[in-house]
Structure 1
């Protein structure tokens, strides 16, 4: 039975309210949590973007949940800084933190003023970052001169157990490539056929036996129309496939791109219903694909109704036997 977790969306919810939400999620029966890591939201309607690493320390202290974060070392973050932040969390909260690495989006990374490189270069840069972080976690003094530069970096406060480095992917090709360096795979809800191809590619690339995680975007309300309205209001800027979602820079760009999105278009990216039993079926279908952790992201700003309703009517279906 997979672990069902709560996804903390910093782009939509202020940090204090998000901390209250994750504490409520633990009390409702969610068994884990994960966090986004953005510098800006996808839309001006969302209107938030707290600093994930500060919040993760608070979330780990305030709950007993395990936490993961999806981040992008290489441009906005130097990999030595990511490694230091992750090592500190692992030292304070042993066995409760994992780190998912992706190649990032221009909407977060453009702030450095550096050129936004094409995807193959971003892949190569991420591979360098992962190698640097693994060497730092091993206690080595690291110098490196490539797509990233490191000069005699060493982590002085090391945990007994370093974090798993999970590969973030949305395509079959990236899933296969991630298997060459990652300790697991994380992706987002897509068709079962596409997810199965990603899983197969990850296994073929060397990921057999490694954990699989899934982030699920959903909209729940007490009526179907309300759920659809909620998804459309908050998440219509987020339905675009790569490379659009990788390369747009500002919330205004995403808002302009989404001007002609229709409400019915939302169902391709967000699971939308007022019936908790439908979510049980949907989540069960993902579990059947072999995901070890499924993290639920309710795309609304208000989280209490979702957390309480799912705690009483959805999570029990996935409780340990």
Structure 2
């Protein structure tokens, strides 16, 4: 049985509308949720970027769902502040919150004015941040001098049980590396051979906990409109690393995507007007061994997607609820 969750995209939907959408998603049968944590959208057309941590408190209160967030500590966020945020949500909503930690993207992190480090440096910085966050969540006083600096930090509000710290991974090299420190892993949909290798790279190197997948989908009752939505909203997200890591403004992403054709969107987004086709794709991902799959409808209007998937797609899936 696989958990099928709703992905809340802060860079596309205003936070109030996004809160209403996640409430609707729970009512439709989604059993979990997660959200992005960006300072900038991927394109000017997306046009939003609400503060995830403020929204998460409201979303956890408004629903009974478990929630996760993908976060990049170390530059835009000091790890002690992220530990405090994780600890507070974990204290308020026991067993319902997790955080996936990654090395981030320049589009969000450049705002500090610090240089954007190379990937090896970012990996090292992330590993230091994970250590700081773990020690703080265990109630320890932490001082640290390295790629991040911490002076005698201590969390005074602690959860009964520290929330899981997953790793956000895109490559098998990262999946192998993060197996040494993560409580689980989340990745993004790709071809099935790559996803099998991702799971193997994590599990074969001692990776523990759940393995999760985020799937970008575009649904509309009209097939051409489903393609148009994907092309309008998500064509700036077809670029592989390191381009997507190192490009630093929404305008630059838009310029780079000027020549992305609508038909090319099928490489990055599952696009169909047929709910049965979406169910077939999602069942094939579940069969690979993912414990949780989070669905991101790449359009800004979420209601039709939620209602149709609740009525016609989720009943075709073996859906389970996360264990709290």
- Identify the TM-score tier after normalising by the shorter chain: over 0.9
TM-score if structure 1 supplies the norm length? 0.99
Q: Which residue of 2 aligns with 1:39?
A: 39
Write out aligned runs for 1:47-196 (5 A): 47-196=47-196
Q: Cα offset for 1:319?
A: 4.4
Q: Cα offset for 1:32?
A: 0.3
- Between the aligned partners of 2:161 and 2:18, the Cα distance in structure 1 is 27
Q: What do the CA deviations read for 1:224-276 (whole angstroms, capped 9, x no partner)?
A: 11100000000000110000000000000000000110111100000000000
Q: Which residue of 2 aligns with 1:20?
A: 20
- Between the aligned partners of 2:40 and 2:105, the Cα distance in structure 1 is 11
Q: Which residue of 2 aligns with 1:237?
A: 236
- Between the aligned partners of 1:294 and 1:320, the Cα distance in structure 2 is 10
Q: Cα offset for 1:318?
A: 2.3
Q: Cα offset for 1:180?
A: 0.7
Point out where structure 2 has 5 or more consecutive residues left out of the alignment.
none
Q: Which residue of 2 aligns with 1:299?
A: 298
Q: What do the CA deviations read for 1:277-308 (whole angstroms, capped 9, x no partner)?
A: 01111000000010011000000000000000
Q: What do the CA deviations read for 1:167-225 (whole angstroms, capped 9, x no partner)?
A: 00010100100101000010000000000011111012211x52110000000001111
Secondary structure of 1:86 counterpart: helix
- Between the aligned partners of 1:143 and 1:320, the Cα distance in structure 2 is 44
Q: Which residue of 2 aligns with 1:218?
A: 217
Secondary structure of 2:205 counterpart: helix
- Between the aligned partners of 2:63 and 2:138, the Cα distance in structure 1 is 28
- Between the aligned partners of 1:178 and 1:222, the Cα distance in structure 2 is 40
- Between the aligned partners of 2:45 and 2:286, the Cα distance in structure 1 is 33
Secondary structure of 1:163 counterpart: coil
Give the superposed CA RMSD. Answer: 0.8
Q: What do the CA deviations read for 1:31-77 (whole angstroms, capped 9, x no partner)?
A: 00000000010000000000000000000000000000000000000
Q: Which residue of 2 aligns with 1:310?
A: 309
Q: What do the CA deviations read for 1:15-40 (whole angstroms, capped 9, x no partner)?
A: 00000000000000000000000001
Q: What do the CA deviations read for 1:59-98 (whole angstroms, capped 9, x no partner)?
A: 0000000000000000000000000001000100000000
- Between the aligned partners of 2:287 and 2:178, the Cα distance in structure 1 is 22
Q: Which residue of 2 aligns with 1:282?
A: 281
Point out where structure 1 has 5 or more consecutive residues left out of the alignment.
none
- Between the aligned partners of 1:239 and 1:283, the Cα distance in structure 2 is 20
Q: CA contact under 8 A between 2:4 and 2:319: conserved in structure 1? A: no
- Between the aligned partners of 2:180 and 2:75, the Cα distance in structure 1 is 22
